[in-house]
Chains A and B, each alone.
Chain A
Amino acid sequence: MPIAFPMKEHLGSIETEALAQIAAATHERALDDARVAVLGKKGSLTLAAAGIKDVPKEDKAAIGQLLNAARAAITAALEAKQAALREIADRAALAGIDATLPARGLPVGSLHPLTQIRDQAIGILRRMGFVLAEGPEIEDEFHCFDALNTPADHPARNEKDTFYFDSGKLLRTHTSSVQIRTMEAQAPPIRIIAPGSAYRRDEIDATHLSVFNQLEGLYVGRDVSLPDLKGTLEYFFRELFGTRTEVRFRPHFFPFTEPSFEIDVKLQIQGQAPRWIEVAGCGMVDPAVFDAINKSRKDQAFDPQTTTGFAFGMGLDRLAMIRWGIKDIRLLIENDVRFLKQFA
C-alpha cells in the first residue's frame, strides 16, 4: 500500500480539496457537508489518519505532524467560514426589519374619569385616616331626611324633586344618609368617607344628571372643632388641586350642619381667568342629628353635650368636570370610546 511519500502528497491534496470545498460553501448546510466529508467517521482525513499505521516507523512522526497541521488548518477554515456564514445569515435576517413600521398593537383600556378622581380623593382622605363606609341607595325617609334634621315639609322631600317608590322608600338624595347608617352602627370616634350615587329628579342636561356621584365625609369625636374642619378640607383640596390652591369657606345653610359652609377653590380652567369655583359643602354636625341618632340607638353614645363633629360632601362628577375641563356632564355616562380612551 502507499508509502510515506505518496501519503504526504495525499494529505496535501485532502487539505487543498477540503479548503476549496469550505471556501465554496455558501450556507451552513454545505459547510456541514464539507466537515463530514473530511472530518466525519468516513471523512477523507479520518481515513487518511487511519492509514498512518502503514507508514514506516521513521516517517511516522513527520506524517503525524503533517496530519495534525492539515486537521488544524481545515478546522480553522471551518470555524472561520462558519462565523462568516452566520454573520451573513444574521445580517440577512435583520435586513428586512423596518423598525419604523407601526406596532403590532394591543388593546388599550382605561379607567373611567370618575373612578380616577374618586380614587384620587379617596387616596388623600385615607392617608388622613378616614375609612370607607357605605349604605343603601334605596333609602327610607328617616335616614335620608328625618335623622338629618330635615323637616317634613322641606322642599327636597317632594315627589317633584326626589324619586319615591310605592313602598314609601326613596332614592337617597345625598350620601349623607351614610352618616346616619354609620353612627347607628358605631360609637365615636367615627372618621369615615362614603363615596356613592345620589339621585335627584332633575332633567338630564349639560350640567345635571338625575343620578350623580358624591363623596361624603364625617368625623365625630370629642373636641372636633371648626379649625379641624377647616384644616382637613383645606389640606384635602390642596392635595387634590395643588399645594398653592386658594380655598375659601362661604357661610351657607344645610339642615344637618351648623354652622355650614360652602367651599370654593380658586382655579384657572383652560382659557379662562382664575375664578372661585364651588366644590363642596360642609359644616359642624347639628346637635339635632346627634339627638336623632341617640333616639334611634336608644342610648347616649352621641351625647350632644360632649360630642362634636364635622361633615362634608362633594360632587365627584363636578370635580371630574373641573379637573379635566369637561363641558357636558352627559359625557360621563355616554361612554363614547373617543372620550374614554383619552383617560387611558
Chain B
Amino acid sequence: MNISLNWLATHLDLAGKSIKEIDDLFTFAGVEVEGIVVEGITSEKIVVAQVMEAVQHPHADRLKVTHVDAGEGSLRQIVCGAQNYKVGDKVPCALPGTALPGGFTISETVMRKVESRGMLCSAAELGLPAGEDGLLILPADAKVGTPLKQMYESDVLLELEVTPNRPDLLSHRGMARELATLLKTPLKPLEIPSRSVGVAPTASIQIEAPAACPLYTAVRLSGVTVKDSPAWLKQRLEAIGQRPINNIVDVTNYVLHELGQPLHAFDAAKLTGGIVVRHAAEGEVFLALDESRHGLTPDDLLISDASGRALALGGVMGGADSGVTGETTEILLESAYFTPSNIRRTARRTALSSDSSYRFERGVDPAGVLAASALAVKLIVETAGGTAAATTLVAGAAPVLTRPVALDAAKLDQLMGGAIALAEAEAILTRLGLTKRSDATWEVPSFRADLQRHIDLVEEIARVHGLDNVPSRLQGCFVPASASDAAYDADMVLRRRLAALGLHECQTIKLIAAQQLADALLSRPLLEGDVIRVKLPLSEDHAVMRPSLVPGLIASAVRNVSQQVKSLRFFEMGRVFRNAGGGKAKDQESDALAILLAGPGAPFGWARSERNADLYDLKGLLSSLLGGREVRFAPKERPGFVLACDIKADAQVIGVFARLAPARERELDCTAPVYVAELDLTKVRKLLVGINHVADLPQFPGSSRDAAMELPLATANAQLENVIDKCAEPLLTAYECFDVFTDSTGARLPVDRKSVAYRFHYRAADRTLKSDEVDAAHQRVLGALGKDLGVKFR
C-alpha cells in the first residue's frame, strides 16, 4: 500500500521527523517498508528560466543551442534536444552541480564542440508526474530565477506492506492513528460533517443477503457536474500512484485512501427502482467495468436494482454500465460493510481484485461506514456541485465484531519475562484506543476486530513496547536425542566420505518432468498409478514427484557435459516419493542416496593415463563408502538401462546399479559411459553402525596358495565365489581374484574361455599350519570348484 507523507501529515504532526525515523517507526509497528521514493524537487539549483534564443546546433541535427535567462544577470548557453518549446517559454533549468532524481549530476560540459552550462528539464527528469514529451513548460507568470521547489511541493512516497491482521492500517487515517500511538502525539481531528440518518424503506434498499452484507447505506446526489478534479485532489491521488479519472470517482478513491472505507458511486439515472443486495443466481453472468465477464455462483453477492439487473459485484467491482460517466448528473453513493470471507471467496473465484475488495476481504471498520459516506458527500458537493439528499438511507446494522477482552497480569508477566509493568502495559492499550471497563476487561475499538483474545492484547503490548526492551534469556531444557538425530549423523558421515572420495554433492529439484521418469532407477518398478503427480503444475518440467534421485543427477550431468566438464562424479541424498502396488499404498516417502560416475576419475595430467570410470570404480567406491565392506553386484535387468544389478552388502539388497543404455548416453551427448546407483538410505545407515567387540589379532602365521583357473567366458565370477563360500573350508580366511585373462584373438586361449587367478589365504587360530595341511585345504577348495563348475586348473 502506498502512503504519501504529505497526506499523512494532515493527520498528525510529523515536523522534524527524518525519513529514517519514519522508516523505523513503521518497521517497529510491524509494517514493512518496501520502498521509499522521494518525489518532487528538493534541490535549490533547479530554477525558472526563460528561453531567450534558440538556434540550430552547428554539428547536430537534433540539438539546439539556447540562451536562457535564469535570473543571473547574464544569459546562460545550454544545448537542448527538446522540440516542444518556443522562444519566450519559461522552463526548468538545472544549474551545474544539481543532482537529478535519476542519479546523475549536472556539470558544465561541451556537447559536439558547443559549450553547455546546465540542463533544461522535462517533468520526468525532475521526478514530477510525467506530462507531455519534452520540456516542462512553466506558467508564463513564473518569475525567472525562482527555485522550482517553491512551486512544486515535494513528497515522500512510502511503499508499505501491511500484514493481513491489520486492515485498520490500510488508510492514511489508520496509519496516522498507529504512528500517533507510537509517537505518543495527538491525532489532528477529522472534519466530517454529521448527516441525518434514516432507515431505508425496502423500496430504496433491500438486503436479501444479510450474512454477506449486514449494512448497506446510500445517499442520492442530484445535479452534479462530472469533470476533472481540482488540483489538490489530483495531487493527493497522483502522490500515491493513482490515476485521476473524474471528480466523482476521485472523491470515492480519495475517501478510500483517507479512511479505508471503500465507496461506490452509481449513475442513479441508470437504475430501475431501488437497490437490492442479493446472491447471484447459479451461472449468472456479470460484466465488470474492466469488461471482463464472470460466471457467478449463489455464494457471490450482487448489488442490483429493482429490475434485478446487476450493478456491481458487491465489494469487488462495479458493473460495465452502471458507473459514472461524463453525462451523469444523478448519483447514488454506496457505503457498506461486506463480510470478509464472502468477498475473499468471490475475489478468488473471479480472479478480480480491487482496492475495495482488498480492504473488504481483510475487514473494514463497521463503525466507519457512515462517516466515510458523509465525507464523500461533502467532497462531491464541493467538487461537482449539486445537492445531496438530506438523509443517508441505511439498511441493516453495523455488526459488532469486538468484545471485551481480559488482560491477565500474571500471564503477561510470564510471557514478557517481567519486562513491562502492568501500568505501562495498560497505558499502551489505552493509547491504542482500548478502554478499561469497570470489570477490568478491555473494550476494543470497532476498527480493531483483530483483538479478540488475551494473547492479542499481549501481542499489542509486546509490539509497542518493543522486543528491544525485553531482556534476553539463555536457557533451555535437556531432551533425549531422536531417531532423526541418528539418521542425520549417519547421513553426514556418508556425505563427508563421498566428498572425500572426490564426489560433488548435488541438490536437484524434487518436482520433475514426466518424461524424466524413464531415467528413474528403482528396485521396485513403477506400476500404473505409482507416480504422484501434482494437480496444477507450474509447468510440465516440474509436474511429478521424483520417485528416484537418478533423473535429477542425469539432468545435472547433462548440464555439465554441455559445459565441457569431462569428469562427472556426483551424489545426492534426499527424499523420493511414490505410491506402491499400483497406487494401493499412497504417498510413500523414503530417503535415498544416488551416485553418478562418468568420464575420467582423476584429473588429466602428465603423470597418469586418462581412463574413464567403469562399473568396478563404482563398486569400489561403494565399498569404501561402507567402510571396506564387500559389495556384491547381482545382475538383474532394468528397462532403460544396461548392466543393471542389485547391490548387495551384508547379504541384503541395499540398492540398484546400472549403466545408462548407450542410446540414451548418445542422446544426452555423453561421450563416456554413465554409471548410476541408487541406494536405500535407511539400509545404508544401518551398515554404518560400528563394531561391538574388537576381534583378537591372529597369533599364528597363515599361508597362501595361488590357483589359475580356466573356465567358460560366460561363467560369472559370482558363481566361483558361491562355490568357494559354499564349501565353507574352515581354514580358508580370505581369497581374492588378482588376474583375469581373455584373448579375443584366440591365440593363447579360446575366445569363449577365460583364465582367472585367485589367491587363497589359509590360517588356523590356534597353531601354525603345516604345509600339507594347507595343501589339503587348498585341494578341498579346488576340488569343489572343479566338481561344481568344471574349472580347469592351469
Q: Do A and B bind each other?
A: yes
In the complex the two chains form, is A231's CB within 8 Å of B507's CB? no
In the complex the two chains form, is B474's CB within 8 Å of A232's CB? yes
User: Which residue of A114, A250, A253, A332 has the most chain B CB atoms within 10 A of its CB atom?
Assistant: A250
Q: Quote the shortest CB–CB distance from B342 to chain A (angstroms).
A: 9
In the complex the two chains form, is A109's CB within 8 Å of B458's CB? no
* B219 CB–A CB distance under 8 Å: no
If the complex has contacts A134-B484, A165-B534, A335-B506, are A104 and B607 also in contact, measured as CB distance less than 8 A? yes
Which residues on the B side are within 8 Å of A137 (C-beta)? 510, 575, 577, 589
Of A6-14, A68-76, A156-164, the one touching chain B: A156-164
Complex formed: what's the CA distance from A102 to B607 in Å? Answer: 9
Which residues on the B side are within 8 Å of A258 (C-beta)? 455-456, 458-459
Q: Quote the shortest CB–CB distance from A279 to chain B (angstroms).
A: 14
Specify the chain A residue showing the minimal Cβ separation from B556. A335
* A112 CB–B CB distance under 8 Å: yes
Complex formed: what's the CA distance from A210 to B508 in Å? Answer: 12
Which residues on the A side are within 8 Å of B488 (C-beta)? 122, 132
Contact with A along B728-754 (1 / 0, CB 8 A): 000000000000000000000000000
* A267 CB–B CB distance under 8 Å: no
* B603 CB–A CB distance under 8 Å: yes
In the complex the two chains form, is A334's CB within 8 Å of B559's CB? yes
In the complex the two chains form, is A251's CB within 8 Å of B589's CB? no
Q: Quote the shortest CB–CB distance from B406 to chain A (angstroms).
A: 13
Q: Quote the shortest CB–CB distance from B347 to chain A (angstroms).
A: 10
Interface size of B by Cβ–Cβ distance < 8 Å? Answer: 91
In the complex the two chains form, is A153's CB within 8 Å of B341's CB? yes
If the complex has contacts A225-B417, A284-B415, A336-B560, are A164 and B535 also in contact, measured as CB distance less than 8 A? yes
* A124 CB–B CB distance under 8 Å: no
Of B137-145, B425-433, B465-473, the one touching chain A: B465-473
In the complex the two chains form, is B462's CB within 8 Å of A109's CB? no
Specify the chain A residue showing the minimal Cβ separation from B604. A105
Of A18-26, A32-40, A52-60, A166-174, the one touching chain B: A166-174
* A201 CB–B CB distance under 8 Å: yes
* B163 CB–A CB distance under 8 Å: yes
In the complex the two chains form, is B414's CB within 8 Å of A223's CB? yes
In the complex the two chains form, is A226's CB within 8 Å of B462's CB? yes
In the complex the two chains form, is A109's CB within 8 Å of B503's CB? yes
In the complex the two chains form, is A201's CB within 8 Å of B482's CB? no
Which residues on the B side are within 8 Å of A234 (C-beta)? 472
In the complex the two chains form, is A227's CB within 8 Å of B504's CB? no
Interface size of A by Cβ–Cβ distance < 8 Å? Answer: 90
* B61 CB–A CB distance under 8 Å: no
Complex formed: what's the CA distance from A252 to B163 in Å? Answer: 7
A337 in complex: contacting residue of B462, B485, B563, B608, CB < 8 Å: B563
* A235 CB–B CB distance under 8 Å: yes
A109 in complex: contacting residue of B164, B470, B502, CB < 8 Å: B502
In the complex the two chains form, is A171's CB within 8 Å of B507's CB? no
* A338 CB–B CB distance under 8 Å: yes
Contact with B along A269-296 (1 / 0, CB 8 A): 0000000000000001011000000000
* B476 CB–A CB distance under 8 Å: yes
* A138 CB–B CB distance under 8 Å: yes
Complex formed: what's the CA distance from A106 to B587 in Å? Answer: 41
Complex formed: what's the CA distance from A55 to B211 in Å? Answer: 142
A112 in complex: contacting residue of B30, B507, B509, B535, CB < 8 Å: B507
In the complex the two chains form, is B479's CB within 8 Å of A109's CB? no
If the complex has contacts A110-B504, A159-B535, are A131 and B607 also in contact, measured as CB distance less than 8 A? no
In the complex the two chains form, is A228's CB within 8 Å of B476's CB? yes
Q: Scan residues 69-124 of chain A and give those whose CB is less than 8 A from a CB of chain B.
A: 101-112, 114-115, 119, 122
Contact with B along A205-227 (1 / 0, CB 8 A): 00001110000000101010111
In the complex the two chains form, is A129's CB within 8 Å of B478's CB? yes
Q: Quote the shortest CB–CB distance from B632 to chain A (angstroms).
A: 25
In the complex the two chains form, is B535's CB within 8 Å of A221's CB? no
If the complex has contacts A159-B536, A228-B476, are A167 and B509 also in contact, measured as CB distance less than 8 A? no
Which residues on the A side are within 8 Å of B499 (C-beta)? 109-111, 344
Q: Quote the shortest CB–CB distance from A52 to chain B (angstroms).
A: 44
In the complex the two chains form, is B476's CB within 8 Å of A191's CB? yes
Contact with B along A322-334 (1 / 0, CB 8 A): 0000000000111
B415 in complex: contacting residue of A128, A225, A252, A260, CB < 8 Å: A225
Which residues on the B side are within 8 Å of A225 (C-beta)? 414-417, 473
If the complex has contacts A136-B587, A159-B536, A165-B535, are A131 and B508 also in contact, measured as CB distance less than 8 A? no
Q: Quote the shortest CB–CB distance from B621 to chain A (angstroms).
A: 10
Q: Scan residues 243-270 of chain A and give those whose CB is less than 8 A from a CB of chain B.
A: 248-253, 258-262
If the complex has contacts A131-B481, A251-B463, are A259 and B504 also in contact, measured as CB distance less than 8 A? no
Q: Scan residues 478-503 of chain B and give those whose CB is less than 8 A from a CB of chain A.
A: 478-482, 484-485, 487-488, 492, 495-496, 498-503
Specify the chain B residue showing the minimal Cβ separation from A163. B534
If the complex has contacts A167-B586, A287-B453, are A259 and B535 also in contact, measured as CB distance less than 8 A? no
* B697 CB–A CB distance under 8 Å: no
* A190 CB–B CB distance under 8 Å: yes
If the complex has contacts A109-B501, A259-B463, are A230 and B470 also in contact, measured as CB distance less than 8 A? yes
Q: Scan residues 124-183 of chain A and give those whose CB is less than 8 A from a CB of chain B.
A: 126, 128-134, 136-138, 151, 153, 155, 158-160, 163-167, 169, 171
Contact with A along B98-121 (1 / 0, CB 8 A): 000000000000000000000000
In the complex the two chains form, is A333's CB within 8 Å of B606's CB? no
Q: Quote the shortest CB–CB distance from B674 to chain A (angstroms).
A: 15
Q: Quote the shortest CB–CB distance from A129 to chain B (angstroms).
A: 5
In the complex the two chains form, is A108's CB within 8 Å of B502's CB? yes
* A340 CB–B CB distance under 8 Å: yes
* B690 CB–A CB distance under 8 Å: no
Which residues on the B side are within 8 Å of A104 (C-beta)? 602, 605, 607-608
In the complex the two chains form, is B414's CB within 8 Å of A308's CB? yes
In the complex the two chains form, is B502's CB within 8 Å of A107's CB? yes
Q: Quote the shortest CB–CB distance from A116 to chain B (angstroms).
A: 9
Which residues on the A side are within 8 Å of B484 (C-beta)? 131-134
User: Which residue of A203, A227, A228, A284 has the most chain B CB atoms within 10 A of its CB atom?
Assistant: A227
Complex formed: what's the CA distance from A249 to B507 in Å? Answer: 32
In the complex the two chains form, is B474's CB within 8 Å of A235's CB? yes
Which residues on the A side are within 8 Å of B473 (C-beta)? 225, 227-228, 230-231
If the complex has contacts A159-B536, A201-B538, A334-B559, are A226 and B459 also in contact, measured as CB distance less than 8 A? no
In the complex the two chains form, is B467's CB within 8 Å of A230's CB? yes
Which residues on the B side are within 8 Å of A102 (C-beta)? 605-607
* A46 CB–B CB distance under 8 Å: no
Specify the chain B residue showing the minimal Cβ separation from A128. B476
In the complex the two chains form, is A228's CB within 8 Å of B475's CB? yes
In the complex the two chains form, is B563's CB within 8 Å of A336's CB? yes
* A189 CB–B CB distance under 8 Å: yes
In the complex the two chains form, is B504's CB within 8 Å of A340's CB? yes
Q: Quote the shortest CB–CB distance from A158 to chain B (angstroms).
A: 7
Q: Quote the shortest CB–CB distance from A266 to chain B (angstroms).
A: 13
Complex formed: what's the CA distance from A129 to B485 in Å? Answer: 12
* B348 CB–A CB distance under 8 Å: yes
In the complex the two chains form, is B505's CB within 8 Å of A253's CB? no
Complex formed: what's the CA distance from A111 to B573 in Å? Answer: 11
In the complex the two chains form, is B415's CB within 8 Å of A308's CB? yes
Specify the chain A residue showing the minimal Cβ separation from B496. A111
In the complex the two chains form, is B419's CB within 8 Å of A337's CB? no
If the complex has contacts A197-B575, A341-B504, are A210 and B542 also in contact, measured as CB distance less than 8 A? yes
User: Top 4 A-B pairs ranked by shortest CB distance?
Assistant: A107-B502, A251-B30, A253-B163, A105-B603
Give me 7 other A-B pairs in contact (C-beta within 8 A), A210-B511, A210-B538 excluded. Answer: A106-B502, A112-B506, A165-B532, A203-B538, A228-B473, A249-B468, A333-B509
